[in-house]
Amino acid sequence: MNPALQEELRKLRRSLQGFLEAEKGFGVEAVMGKGVGREKNVMHSVVSLDRNLEPLRQEVSVCIKCPLHQGRRQTVFGEGSPSAKLMFVGEAPGSEEDQQGRPFVGQAGKLLTKIIEAIGLKREDVYIANIIKCRPPGNRAPLPEEIHSCEPYLVRQIEFIRPRLICALGKYAAMVLVRKEESISLLRGNFYDYQGIPVMPTFHPAYLLRNPSAKRLVWEDMKKLKTTLEKLETSP
């Protein structure tokens, strides 16, 4: 079989496996059955996987699990490719995101788009989400109880997408995904494990807008991220 197609099928199987683990009772036998139609079945199921992010999006859109629902215009679920190999996780929506219902669309978002393009990808190639789906008032930092309430949605997004790599943007995303108390300055640029997925923390783009000199460090992190991603893609 063509190596590129083999790689694509392997990626699809990996995504599907994550989905099946997350959705117990989802026709495992039918999907993973042996025979000539196996790849076709896997393809078909991955298309279903894409659709299956929608129920979660709907669930989040009416969530009232924490007080942040009171001040939101709308929830900001996340966007991008549901089979992305790279996922960016930020902190929480700001004013612009709250208005548009999309993550990273303000000034910090524009910078994130440039960062993504700098490593040779397009915004639609990756998946972008936040740990918190509703805007905290005045863009304040999320409270531990808000993170606790909202984190399960992010966990389920990651389970569906099963990216090869995750980039945690800023200290709160790093706290949730890396589970370490060290500062983002110490954590950045290193890889940690999240459920078998390598996670690299780096500075949040909003921090870079306030501290442009840190862009150089983020560029170093992104080069490392890109190299690791390429290695992972060619590994068996």
Instruction: Note the residues at the interface with ligand SF4 (CB under 6 A).
Output: 60, 63-66, 68-69, 75, 132-134, 146, 149-150
Distance in Å, CB of 26 to ligand SF4, minimum = 24
How many angstroms separate the Cα of 23 from the Cα of each of 15, 19, 131?
12, 6, 21
Distance in Å, CB of 141 to ligand SF4, minimum = 13
Distance in Å, CB of 65 to ligand SF4, minimum = 4
Terminal Cα-to-Cα distance of the chain (whole angstroms): 15
Nearest Cα to Cα of residue 93 among 126, 53, 142: 142
Q: Which is nearer to ligand SF4, 66 or 111 (CB)?
A: 66
Q: Which is nearer to ligand SF4, 70 or 235 (CB)?
A: 70
CB 219 within 8 A of CB 233: no
Q: Which is nearer to ligand SF4, 83 or 157 (CB)?
A: 157
- Alpha-carbon span 123 to 53, nearest angstrom: 18
Distance in Å, CB of 81 to ligand SF4, minimum = 22
Q: Which is nearer to ligand SF4, 84 or 134 (CB)?
A: 134
Q: Strand, helix or coil at 93?
A: coil
